[in-house]
Amino acid sequence: MIMMFEQLQDKVLDWAEEKGILDNSNPLKQLEKTQEELDETKEALERGGDNDEDVADGIGDMLVTIIILAELAGMDSVECLRSAYAEIKDRKGEMRDGLFVKEDNL
């Protein structure tokens, strides 16, 4: 059975509730955890990304921490993603040194 993002989000939040994260953390602490996972993912990629498992684990861990961060901030991660996509979907810009630079910053 393939779960949709919303279903996985609910499972992550159930897990966070069971572990006491939602009652005992705050958005800034959760952001620190997200940064930790981001750094681990970056290290995996800097090693050459030769272990796809480490990179996939890091990306998944970042998603988990971001879902919890959104909840702690009183937001819904799916709505945050929907809003961000609405903002970028028609954005114009160009690639520079491997990064997309939006037209306003050119």
CA pair distance 83, 14, nearest whole angstrom:
24
Q: Where does the chain have alpha helices with state H?
A: 5-18, 21-24, 27-46, 52-72, 77-88
pLDDT score for 5: 92
- For 60-99, how does the pLDDT look when each residue is reduced to its tens digit (9 = 90+)? 999 999 999 999 999 999 999 999 999 999 999 999 999 9
**Torsion sign, CA atoms 40, 46, 47, 48:** positive
pLDDT score for 100: 93
Residue 13 has pLDDT above 80, yes or no: yes
CA pair distance 87, 38, nearest whole angstrom:
24
pTM over 0.75, yes/no: yes
Domains with residue ranges and CATH for the chain: 5-105 (1.10.287.1080)
Which residue has tokens 């970028």?
A: 88
